[in-house]
Every structure is written in structure tokens, then in C-alpha cells.
Structure 1
Amino acid sequence: MNFAQLLFPDFSLILCGYLVCRFTKLNRTVWEQVESLVYYFLFPVLLFHSIVKSPLDLSAASSLVGAAISLAVCAIALTYSLPHWPLLGRFIDVRLHAASAQVGFRFNSFILLALADRVAGPQGLLMVAVIIGFCVPIFNIGAVWPMARHANKGFARELVRNPLIVATASGLVANLLGFSMPGWLEPTVNRIGQASLALGLMAAGAGMQFGSMAAGKALAAAVLAVKHFAVPLMAFGLARLFGLDPVQTAVLLTFSAVPTASSCYVLAARMGYNGPYVAGLVTLSTLLGMLSLPFALGVLGAPR
């Protein structure tokens, strides 16, 4: 399978979002509202529907969830170990690292959900929805913890109000209770899901911005190397360790190699850190995703 060709439509939408935002009157003010629409309504509907439309085999999903949680913990630990590396540590500003470490392990849910269906079909969306439900709280803890002394909102409150977590949790409960979407509602929900993927990808492109990267070149290189090289390698090893099947392996590798979350910039800026620097890292991560995804899926995920 030619993964570069497979991923081209999604990255084309990212490019379209960037060009539309930069060169038309549909600027960041417009796209901030689009992001809110996608994040608070369209994506939660997509996640809920992805979970309830197929029976969930908890025993089969347990290995994938275990691998994903292990990957999340390992990625967080590796990223936060960077200042303690013998040769690298002296070049890293501790405060800058606290703001940008999240780039090394968080993921862009817009891109992940769009790719899941393309890589593994409807079953891939279900798997990704389950992964999001378990891993988003872990990543949020990892992202906020080093900056917590500057937080101006209750941490636990932010977690329980996260729309992706709420949608996933409610979808899992509905699935286990045997709920199914009424037939007359299916076409509407399907179209909401299609709209969420396209708008989410374009919003990711519109959010790209190159900040001041001169403040910490060594840190930037290290964090991005963790995100786009080390984490996919860890995912490959964990897939073997947990005995995942080919579809589960493809989903885990996709999860490991997608660009970082665009909200990294928002979190860093809101908590009083160097927002422009983190924005630059997010943009570079989005671009590097065009290399890490073919590497993860085409090289590491190739049949052996």
C-alpha cells in the first residue's frame, strides 16, 4: 500500500486550510470559531456514533488499550527526561521545556480521526475512539502537571468537561447497554461525521504558525525527534509485546505518528509560557507528520 498516496488527501486539506487562512478574508478569527464547532459538537458526535454503531468486544480491545496506555506513559517519561540527558541537558531551558514537552507526546485528534477511517475503516474509528477515551486524560495530566503552578482553572474540572472524553465515555456506556442509533437519524449523523473530518483537517492547517524558534533549537530538535521517531518505534515494540493483530497495529502506529495537538500552543500561552515558541513546534510537527506517518505505516507497519 502506498501510504504517501493514501495520506495525500488529508494533508491536502491541511494545506488548503493554511492557504485559505493566510491569503483570504477567512482569517484566524473565522477559523477559531470553526475549531470550536468541530471540538465541541462535530467531533463528539462522530466519536459517540463510531462507538455505538458497532458492538464493542472488551476482551479484544483490552490489548490495544493496554498498548496505547503504555505508549502514553513511555512517551511522557521520555519527553520529560530530556533535561537530564548528559550532553543535551545543559542546552535546555527548564521553563521552556515545561511548556514544550507536551509537543512530544500529545496528538492532533482532528488528523487522527480522519486517518483512522482511511487506514483501518469503520473499525479503525471505533478503536481510535476507545484510545482517545483512555489516553486523553493521561496526556492532559502530562501536559498540565509541569505548568500547574500557573494554572488558573481547576485541573480535574477541565478533564471531566473535555468534550472528547465525555463523548467517548457516554458512547462506551451506551454501547455496553445495547443502544443503537435510530435508522432515521443515521444519515444526519453520518454527514456530521464527514463534515467534522474535513473541517477538522482544514482547521489544523489554519492554525499553523511559525513562532520564534531561536530560543531553543536543541530542545525543539529533541522534542520533535521523540514525537516523530522515538514514539513510533515504541509503538512498534509495544504492538509486538501485546500481540496486536494487523489492524490494531496499524491503528496504534497511526496514533503514535500523527502530528501533535494544535491546542499545545493555547495551553502554553494560557498558562503564561512562551506561546510563539510552542506554536512553531506545533507547525513543524504538522509538517513532519508527512514523513512520520509513512515511516510508521509503510516501514514499521510493513508485513514481515
Structure 2
Amino acid sequence: MHTALLLLPDFLLIVIGFLLCRYTMLDRSVWDGAERLVYYLLFPVLLFNSIVRNPLQPSALATLGLAGLAIVGCGIALALLLGRWPGVDARLHASGAQVAFRFNSYMALALADRLGGAPGVAAVALLVAVAVPACNIAAVWPLARHGGHGFLKELLRNPLIIATVAGLVASLMGLKLPAPVALTMERIGLAALPIGLMAVGAGLRFGALRDAPRLAAALLGIRHLVLPLLAVVFVRFTDLPPLQQLVIVAFSALPTASSCYVLAARLGGHAGFVAGLVTVSTLLGMASVPLALGAYAALGPVPGTPLR
């Protein structure tokens, strides 16, 4: 119950965004601009500032980064294997496979902030840096085969990756920001999470999942059942400190990225099918994240791992 209450404010912000977009003058056109503001300015500043203020040790960078890639890699492999099912529509699979392994960065950062404050956000920033390129490549590749689109340019221009890499470089160089600059960036970062979460709610859509219900159930099962179970077991065999173990488990159970719909629509996929998957995944995240964290708490920290 404690974990569910911890997440409740974030999910309420999503509900507020949904209601504002559907039933007030703050319609879709307003939230399109808000999403761009969050994606290109607010979140990059939050990521950069969190890393500079809370540098991770090099050994933790490697272990945490590999742990995140391991979870994402399992999701990618399982999602792509679904394409070999007899009777699976190639276009629907190419469009929806990304839902099984991509994650909502907005919710990841908000959750990390609640679980561990700035150190938790710094840990998630690293996961974003290593997982987003892998997820984007795996998401774009099936769609690109149908539409002939490339993805390397998009990866190199991703603002979240740029901000995280810049933060890691600045941290390794021992950069200390002047107090007025640091305070300004901190205040910008504070605006990122509530606006980002409300933008997630504004983007919820109930699409037509009836076109492939079995495929939809399998993709959502990977995202919200298989990956969290793997993460809970996996962290038992790492030497990560408890906070980072907690972040990995929460990361594995997150709702899928709301931008899955945008990618499918832009590359000629089945956008309606993906919109439905994103909506259901967001709702399932309200249960999967608390359940995964509860399972981790029931097992307890890895024996012999120091608290820090």
C-alpha cells in the first residue's frame, strides 16, 4: 500500500492531463506544444543537472548500465520472436513490437525522484542514456523495413541522449556550475515532471486493439509481467546498492513510451493499434510498478549489499 500511495500523485497528474485535454479549452493543440517544451528543454535540463549534482562512480556506471541493457535486451528479443507466430500480421507486429520494450521516460524520472530523490534521478538518467538508443533502434528497424526510413540521424539528435552524455562528461570533468546557473536549472527541472506527466495523460487514446487481441496481450504481457519478474530475479545476482536495485525493478515495470504512437504514425505503421496499446499499458503501469516493487521488497535487499 505504501508503494501505491507513493505513485498515486504521479498517476493523478496523468488523469488531470487526460481530463484537461478532453473537457477544457486546453485541447490537443496546447499539449502538442507542452510535449515539445518538455522533450526539448525541461527534461534535458533535469537530466543534465541531476547527473552533475549526483555523479555516479565509474563501477556503478558500468554495472547499472549493463543491468538496464540486459532488461531491455530481453524485451527486444521476446517482442521480435512474437513476429514468428503463425498468422501474425507483419504490419501490426512491426508497429506494436516497440510497446513491449520501450519505456515512458517521464514516468521513469518522476518515479525515480520519489523513490530516491536526485540520486535516483541520476541513476535513471544513465538508464535512459544506454537504453534509449537500443530501444529506438529496435523500434525503428521493423518499421523502417516497411517504409524505407532511417534512424541513425534521429538517434544522434535525441535531446535526452545528448543531455545525459553531456552530464556524464561534465561530471567526469568535475564541473561545478555557478550558484545562479545551478538554481535556474534546478527550477527548470522542477517544472519538467508535472508537465511531462500531464502531457502523458493528454496523449491517452483508446484505439482498436480488436484487430489483433492475442498479439496485444502478448506484447503487454512482456512489458508488465515478464520483464518485471526478470528484473526482480536479476538484481539478486548483481552487486548494485539497494537504491539502484530498486530503480532497475521500477524501470522494468514502467508503462511503455507515449511516443510509440508518434513513431508508428510517422513511419507508416498501424497508429490506431499502437495508440490502444499505449493507453492500456499506461493503465497497467498503475498496477505493475507497485507489484514489482512489492515483490522486490518482499525478497529484501541482496544479502551482503551495503546500504548507500
- Where on the TM-score scale, by shorter chain, does this alignment land: which range? over 0.9
Q: Which of 254, 268, 274 pairs up with 1:272? A: 268
| Counterpart in the other structure of 1:291 | 287
2:132 maps to which of 118, 136, 146: 136
Q: Distance in 1 between matches of 2:228 and 2:150?
A: 32
Per the alignment, residue 125 of structure 1 pairs with: 121
Distance 1:41 1:83 in 2: 37
- Correspondent of 1:248 among 244, 249, 274: 244
1:49 maps to 2:49: yes
C-alpha displacement of 1:91? 4.7
Equivalent position to 1:300, from 290, 296, 300? 296
Give the corresponding residue for 1:8: 8
Q: For 1:104 and 1:43, how far apart are their aligned partners in 2?
A: 23
Match of 2:91 among 79, 89, 95: 95
Match of 2:234 in 1: 238
Aligned with 1:261: secondary structure? Answer: coil
Quick one: which of 155, 162, 174 aligns to 2:158? 162
CA-to-aligned-CA distance 1:253-301 (integer Å, 9 cap, x gap): 1111111001100111111111011001000000000000011111234
Q: Distance in 1 between matches of 2:109 and 2:285?
A: 14
| Equivalences, count | 300
Contact 1:53 1:181 in 2 (8 A): no
Provide structure 1 residue ranges, at least 5 long, that are not aligned to the other structure: none
Q: CA deviation at 1:81?
A: 1.0
SS in 2 for 1:208: coil
Where 1:184 maps in the other structure, the secondary structure is: helix
Q: Deviations 1:71-125 (Å, cap 9, x if unpaired)?
A: 11111001111233xxxx2352222011100000000111110110101221101
Deviation at 1:150, TM superposition (A): 4.1
Letter in 1 for 2:264: A
Where 1:122 maps in the other structure, the secondary structure is: helix
Q: Does the CA-based 8 Å contact 2:102-2:135 persist in structure 1? A: yes
The match for 1:228 is 224
Match of 2:180 in 1: 184
Q: Distance in 1 between matches of 2:209 and 2:101?
A: 19
C-alpha contact 1:265 1:279 (8 A) present in aligned 2: yes
Range 254-263 or range 241-250, more displaced: 241-250
Mapped to 2, the partners of 1:186 and 1:151 lie a distance apart of 44
Asked whether the equivalents of residues 261 and 282 of structure 1 are also in contact (C-alpha less than 8 Å), the reply is: yes
Assess if the C-alpha contact under 8 Å between 2:18 and 2:201 holds in 1.
yes
| Separation in structure 2 between the aligned mates of residue 93 and residue 113 of structure 1, nearest angstrom | 34
After TM superposition, give the deviation of residue 153 of structure 1 in Å: 5.0
**After superposition, what is the alpha-carbon deviation per residue over 1:194-242, rounded to whole angstroms, capped at 9, x for unaligned?**
1100000000000000011110000111100100000111111221222
The equivalent of 2:30 in structure 1 is: 30
User: 2:304 maps to what in 1?
Assistant: none
SS of aligned partner of 2:205: coil
- 2:232/2:295 contact within 8 Å kept: no
Q: Are 2:60 and 2:240, in contact at CA under 8 Å, matched by a contact in 1?
A: no
Alignment deviations for residues 124-145 of structure 1 (CA, whole Å, 9 cap, x no partner): 0110011111110000011011
Structure 1 residue aligned with 2:168: 172
Query: For each residue in 1:41-93, what CA deviation from the matched residue of structure 2 results, as whole angstroms up to 9, or x when unmatched?
Result: 00000000011112331112321111111111111001111233xxxx23522
Letter in 2 for 1:279: A
In 2, distance between residues paired with 1:94 and 1:152? 15
Structure 1 residue 162: deviation in Å? 0.2
**Structure 2, gaps ≥5 residues long:** 301-308
Asked if 1 retains the 8 angstrom alpha-carbon contact of 2:55 and 2:122, the reply is: no
Distance 1:18 1:167 in 2: 28
1:83 & 1:65 partners in 2: Cα distance?
Answer: 28
Identity %, equivalent residues:
53
Q: Name 2:104's counterpart in structure 1.
A: 108
Give the TM-score, by structure 1 length.
0.95
For residues 145-203 of structure 1, give each alpha carbon's deviation from its aligned partner in whole angstroms, at most 9, with x where no partner exists.
11113456541111000000000111111111110221122222121111100000000
Which residue number corresponds to residue 145 of structure 2? 149
Q: Is the contact between residue 2 and residue 298 of structure 1 (CA under 8 Å) also seen in structure 2?
A: no
State the match for 2:20 in structure 1.
Answer: 20
